[in-house]
Amino acid sequence: MSRLQTLLEQRANAWATVQDIRERLSRENRDASEDEDTAFRNALDDVEKLSAKIADEERAARLESIDYSQTPGRSVPEGRGEGDQPNGESRYGDAFQVWMRGGSEGLTAEERTALHGGFVDTKELRAQGVATGAAGGYLVPQGFRNTLIETMKFYSSMRAVSEVINTDSGQTLPWPTNDDTANVGAILAENTQMTQQDLTLGQAQLGAYMYTSKIVLVSFQLLQDSVFNLDSFLARKLGERIGRIQNTHFTTGTGSSQPLGIQTNATVGKQGTTGQTTTVIYDDLIDLIHSVNRAYRNTDSRWMMADSSLKPIRKLKDSQNRPLWEPSVQVGVPDSLLGYGLEINDDMPAMAASAKSVLFGDFRRGYVIRDVLGVQLLRLTERYADFLQVGFAAYARTDATLQDAGAIRAYQNAAS
């Protein structure tokens, strides 16, 4: 049995203990004894601790699924003989690794040509401005980019649930918006002219904000150590930094000099009942679900909230005294709330007076993220030479916006 499955079963057992004590006290209509109170609190603590461990284990499992098999340094990749001719992407990737470790001075003439010219095949064209290499930067090869993007997803709940598109340039992209759920067809009598019902289209624009990881410093010793996997290390660290800031903007961004966050202008589907400034009641969650049109309430619909908001929700029960939150006991199956999946996003506001703390709906139809292909990595050699370090910084161009406001609704805590 895997460690993840073991943790899931341990959490299920702890949660069963919580429910058993609850149901017994409710059935016998009495307060908990000292031993029962201690057991109840310990079981709740176990549920929270195990949930955190499960989240870490799931993240680790996803990281393990990434191919880290790229051979560092200048050795011949496994499965290819010395006499074999590598394709354009392989040549570019091999030269890129040499450049990361030794800079431009360590490149052969062939490797230098590969980096400056990029590569062209039937699938991809890498093009860069004439000053790119001179400035110390090159577009990252596909394997490095895939690792970086996957790492960004681990630190960005919004990337995991939104529609993500890729474009070849960063030119302003007009994006049509439409909510036609209020319009219906009609019965047409014989020999009767059809009436018109135009679509009401809006328009949003997607630009390309330049995101930077800031500088990651790597010592000369690590650069020279062929055992050290520089590719995976840099991709993870740079991806973590970009992923964190992008998730903040995708969630609560103002739309001015940064992407427009999904929570920022989300339509309020349910205002909390008076007194619910830091909590939510069962009825309000049901009302929030039904504030989203049925056209969007499909298998992709889910909840989004901060972990601190989930805590009071875990304590809620329906009219049959059943808990609303259902912890998953199966690998790959998310926890659920009232039958819908649950996405924890700690960039969502915590429950507070008038806070839009919970979102519900189809995020893939409601929100779009636009990435501009061509993540660039800069290598800063001289700046940190006196520390025997080399600086690396990644740049990625991205924007995001709400594409269908009708797909998402927000629960807003009461003002008082």
**What are the sequence ranges of the domains in the chain?**
140-178+201-416
CA distance 112 to 310: 53
- Per the CB < 8 A criterion, the answer to whether 225 and 198 are in contact is no
Q: Is the pTM of this model over 0.75?
A: no
- Cα separation, 289 vs 360, in Å, equals 7
Q: Which two tokens stand for residue 101?
A: 């470790």
Tell me, what's the pLDDT at 415? 93
Do residues 325 and 305 touch, judged by C-beta distance below 8 A?
Answer: no
Q: Provide the residue-wise pLDDT of the chain in tens; the chain has 416 residues.
A: 678 888 888 888 888 888 888 888 888 888 888 888 888 888 888 888 888 888 777 767 665 655 444 433 333 344 444 444 455 667 777 777 777 777 766 677 777 777 666 543 333 333 333 334 434 456 667 677 777 777 787 778 899 899 998 888 888 888 777 666 677 788 888 888 888 877 777 777 899 999 999 998 988 888 877 666 777 788 888 888 899 999 999 999 999 999 999 999 999 999 998 999 999 999 999 999 999 998 888 768 999 999 999 988 888 877 777 788 877 766 666 688 988 988 999 999 999 999 999 999 999 999 999 998 767 888 888 888 889 898 988 888 999 999 888 899 999 999 99
- Given this model, what pLDDT does residue 374 score? 65
Alpha carbon distance 410, 305 (integer Å): 10
Tell me the CA distances in angstroms from 347 to 33, 236, 280, 305, 371, one per residue in order.
Answer: 39, 20, 19, 8, 21
Residue 407, CB half-sphere, CA atoms under 13 Å: how many? 22
The answer as to CATH 1.10.150 being correct for domain 140-178+201-416 is no
